[in-house]
Structure 1
Amino acid sequence: MPAVSIIIPVYNIGKYLEKCLDSVIAQTFPDIEIIVVNDGSTDNSPEIIARYADKDPRIVVIDKANEGLAYARKSGIEAANGEYIQHLDGDDYLELDAIELVYRKAKEKDADMVVFPFWFDYPDSGKSKRSIEIACTSYTGLEYFSAISFSKAHWAVWSYLHKRSLYANSITFRQELSYGEDVFLTTQLSYYSSRVAVLKSRPLLHYIIRENSITNSRLSEKKAGNILLYPSLVDNFLKNKPEYSSLQKELSAIRIQANNELLSKRWFKDAHKLSKESLAILRQYPDLKPQVKSFYKLFTLYAHNRLLGRLYAQYYIFKKKIK
């Protein structure tokens, strides 16, 4: 049994895949298996994967029909043998001692999850931004869920090492989620975690954001539907749990963030309805106002008058508050 299984979903990212795989096979911590899930790629990704698998026996290749990111990760998890799992997108890459540092922390604290800092890299501009500085050094799973809900940590599933045994808790994957899948999966993993340790170190992963990336592109009907869906999936997961009534503020924060995300990506189709919903949430929880930041006035105008809201949205676009 390897100590860590690194799961890398791949779909048509041949241009960036070598840098990712190079960073993984060169890890200073060698006790890993590398599960590369080719999710029906039609570019040169399969050839690159085969070439790397030929020279490193730790690489396990899964070739499957395209079913999306959630099911690609699910396939990797089902094939994994490691005590811990680290997710990694195929166009991102790790610092060479990343796995060594997070695994050492996991064993030291007997942690179910180890959260670590990372870089947001913007290759088009050459800029980088560090991830949120997490306040505490340890949490219970629900405490960490609260921290993420209130924007004090990140949802990204690749931003933490976690025990493979957590998936024995009937973790659910939704194939249709191409946006928000991390929120749904992290909610479930956090809920079933007893100890979450925070590694205070330099950033250990480079998350690459390009103009044409899933998270940075304009919304389609499907993506907008995903953003509307994932808060409901989180709510439904927690609904029958004994802690549900005490997590209403967290669930409201997730909903208002989703509404904010839709407006920030120029999805004005449901703006009147969503703005009314957001303002109702803020009346109940006024201290969530920082969650909407500079979008508060836009919410207010859209809630009361669609035309005024649309005109103000154009002003936001001009000022590049909405991209």
Structure 2
Amino acid sequence: MPILSVVVPFHDVEEYLGPCLDSLTTQTLRDIEVICVDDGSRDGGPAVVEARWAADPRVRLVRQAGGGVGRARNLGVRHATGRYLAFVDGDDLVPRDAFRRLVASLESTGSDLACGNVMRLHRDQLVPSWAHRQAFARRLERTHITRHPLLVRDRMLWNKVYRRSFWDALALTFPERLYEDQPVAMAAHVGATSVDVLKAVVYHWRRRDWSVTQRSLEPGNVRDRLLSVLETATLLARRAPGVKRRFDRDTLDIDMSVAVAAVARTGPATDPALLDLAARYLDGVAPEDWLSLPYRRRLLTHLLHRRRVEELAAVYAEEREGRLRPPLASTGFGLGGRRWYGRHPALPAHLSEVTDELDLETRLLSTGWRDGLLRGEGWMSVGRFDARSLGRARVRVWLRERCTGDTVPLSEDRVMPASLGLPQEDGGVAAEHGFPFGFAFDPATLSPARLARRGHWELRVELRAGGLRLEAKVAGPRWLPPAVPPPVRRAGSWLVPVRAGKGVWGLRVRGAEALIGECRIEGGDLLVAGELTDPGDGEPVLRLIRRGDGEEVYFPATLDGHVFSGRIRLGDIEPPVGRVPRWDVLLDQGRKLRPLVRTRARPAATVAGRRFVADRGDDGCLMLVEHCPPMENQR
């Protein structure tokens, strides 16, 4: 009898199955059996397994003529003979020491199951799984989901090892549908006497463009998702009611958003049985948990709950197009102060409160140096609400230094609410109700002591109106105008207007050993040129360092006296994983220099379908950014 049985269902994943089996057969825990269940594959996957079986008797092949991953897992469990049980999907990978860690923990503690952290795998790069990051932030032994409720997000099977006697005692089986893992994983967490939580990463979860989770809006997919939600909610209500509220908040946020999008897309043709499933689940959600949803999603989910499909589709379209701007109102003071509500005829008053989600959405409309001053005009709105009822407002703008909290006042005005059509990132224009603001910064206000600190000053704004007081950094969509003004020199320091990664505007005070005066696109290349204060010895190179994982790419540069130039071949840069990968561009001549960008240009190029923009980082230095599609929701 082996120590561990690993069940691997697979269907048409020939491309990934070999690496998956490699990761299993090279585990440091050698005493395992790998039961591969072919779920009616039409590619060469079964042949891959047969070849491994011939080379390694620990690998076995079991076949079924389709029926889905739930049935395949059940079949694999029936063939498993180990003291412990684990599951791996045929397109994923398992770190080499994962099973040894998990089994050793169970042997040490006597817990019923052990689970560990997860990374998302895309191409050859790994990023943390948001669903697991918090729950597995630290190691916990002999815990339980009722004592560590963040485990309610640990709804997948494959980052775990189960004691087989425990599995059989609970008579766990998989439903034969999609999302079959959630109710089983939750039943195991709830039914366990104790659970071990490992901080170590034990699973690499592959993201594929056409995997189950990416086909989330298909009606059958939504039906299976809702069935699993209902089954899990019923289990938690009966066995772990204290955990159900956390489950409901996550489910409202994720699963109900998917259901809303699917119903809005299908409209009146939506299957009534699907609406019934959504309504049955929402019937059991506590009123206070509804308020955990942002107002707009609360409104859409309420329409789903009441089966008002045509109205849901209309409101969903308004939201997508930026036209949903409910009026903001206050009914006076309640517990903790004044209470605020969004008004929409479809949403009842008890679901309309927005007090805790009100914030300022800000953006600059223009900025630049004029007459020696850095001037700007901007716009702010109260969330995405129509705040005209607030009336005349007091607006204050200032700079605040990050490290010291020191402030430089810029303006204070009284303004009336207005309406304005604002450009959007998709190229459209959306009407907003809000308040204008303006400012002027005089570099002379920065004393020698302030200049010597070489600090980062953030641009901030405050709104006071109708009993409401809100404060925010001035930010906005990074890829829309205005362009970042060039730096200016004052008393030996450079004053650098900057726009940080999240679009936050500010001012950096810094020195500069290298300056970029030219930055342009030529063909598929980015050409940069500038000056060094100290040319040093030897030829420099342009060194690109990707934020997040430190990946580096090098390109040659030339030096003629104090003048340097280089060419970055954009097509040679590795394709990204995240939504907005950023590369810091350094000049390396035995020491790393961050060249300050003096030009206003933000040249852009599309190379082999990839969109690159040369921009400034939040220190005013050159940063290369690639736009790419967002990663899909993980469930």
- The answer to whether the 8 Å contact 1:276/1:299 transfers is no
Corresponding residue for residue 363 of structure 2: none
C-alpha distance in structure 1 between counterparts of 2:284 and 2:6, whole Å: 42
C-alpha distance in structure 2 between counterparts of 1:139 and 1:261, whole Å: 35
C-alpha distance in structure 1 between counterparts of 2:184 and 2:148, whole Å: 11
C-alpha distance in structure 1 between counterparts of 2:243 and 2:3, whole Å: 34
Amino acid in the other structure paired with 1:260 = S
| Range moving further from structure 2, 95-104 or 265-274 | 265-274
Decide whether aligned partners of structure 1 residues 48 and 245 sit closer, same or farther in structure 2, where only a CA change above 3 A counts.
Answer: closer
Decide whether aligned partners of structure 1 residues 158 and 264 sit closer, same or farther in structure 2, where only a CA change above 3 A counts.
Answer: farther
- The answer to whether the 8 Å contact 1:117/1:132 transfers is yes
- Structure having greater relative contact order (Cα 8 Å, sep ≥ 6): 1
Decide whether aligned partners of structure 1 residues 277 and 204 sit closer, same or farther in structure 2, where only a CA change above 3 A counts.
Answer: closer
Amino acid in the other structure paired with 1:132 = R
Q: Give the % identical residues.
A: 21
- The answer to whether the 8 Å contact 2:174/2:184 transfers is yes
- The answer to whether the 8 Å contact 1:140/1:193 transfers is no
For residue 261 of structure 1, the aligned residue among 258, 270, 273 is 258
Which aligned segments of 4 or more residues in structure 1 are displaced greater than 6 angstroms?
Answer: 270-273, 318-323
Q: Supply the RMSD in Å over aligned alpha carbons.
A: 3.3
Decide whether aligned partners of structure 1 residues 13 and 245 sit closer, same or farther in structure 2, where only a CA change above 3 A counts.
Answer: closer
Tell me the TM-score normalised to structure 2 length.
0.44
C-alpha distance in structure 2 between counterparts of 1:22 and 1:248, whole Å: 39
**Alpha-carbon offset, residue 217 of structure 1:** 2.4
C-alpha distance in structure 2 between counterparts of 1:9 and 1:118, whole Å: 19
Corresponding residue for residue 191 of structure 2: 192
Amino acid in the other structure paired with 1:109 = T
Amino acid in the other structure paired with 2:102 = V
- The answer to whether the 8 Å contact 1:13/1:90 transfers is yes
Corresponding residue for residue 245 of structure 2: 249
Count of residue correspondences: 308
Residue 159 in structure 1 maps to residue 162 in structure 2:
no
C-alpha distance in structure 2 between counterparts of 1:267 and 1:99, whole Å: 43
1:139-218 matches, cutoff 5 A: 140-143=143-146, 146-149=149-152, 153-168=153-168, 169-175=170-176, 177-178=177-178, 180-201=179-200, 203-218=201-216
Decide whether aligned partners of structure 1 residues 48 and 144 sit closer, same or farther in structure 2, where only a CA change above 3 A counts.
Answer: farther
1:37-56 matches, cutoff 5 A: 37-56=37-56
Decide whether aligned partners of structure 1 residues 249 and 218 sit closer, same or farther in structure 2, where only a CA change above 3 A counts.
Answer: closer
Corresponding residue for residue 223 of structure 1: 221
1:1-323 matches, cutoff 5 A: 1-123=1-123, 126=125, 128-130=127-129, 131-133=132-134, 134=136, 137-138=140-141, 140-143=143-146, 146-149=149-152, 153-168=153-168, 169-175=170-176, 177-178=177-178, 180-201=179-200, 203-237=201-235, 241=238, 243=239, 248-250=244-246, 252-253=248-249, 255-256=251-252, 257-263=254-260, 268=265, 269=267, 281=285, 283-285=287-289, 289=292, 292=293, 296-300=295-299, 303=302, 305-306=311-312, 307-315=314-322
Say which structure is richer in helix. Answer: 1
Larger C-alpha radius of gyration, 1 or 2? 2
Tell me the TM-score normalised to structure 1 length.
0.82
Structure 1 unaligned spans of 5+: none
Structure 2 unaligned spans of 5+: 304-310, 324-424, 427-628
C-alpha distance in structure 2 between counterparts of 1:34 and 1:97, whole Å: 16
Once the two structures are superposed, what CA deviation does each residue of 1:263-308 show, in whole Å capped at 9, x if it has no partner? Answer: 466765479996998699463336x71xx4xx54233256465322
C-alpha distance in structure 1 between counterparts of 2:300 and 2:63, whole Å: 50
C-alpha distance in structure 1 between counterparts of 2:83 and 2:286, whole Å: 42
Say which structure is richer in strand. Answer: 2
Corresponding residue for residue 477 of structure 2: none
Decide whether aligned partners of structure 1 residues 204 and 321 sit closer, same or farther in structure 2, where only a CA change above 3 A counts.
Answer: closer
Decide whether aligned partners of structure 1 residues 191 and 121 sit closer, same or farther in structure 2, where only a CA change above 3 A counts.
Answer: same
| Range moving further from structure 2, 217-226 or 136-145 | 136-145
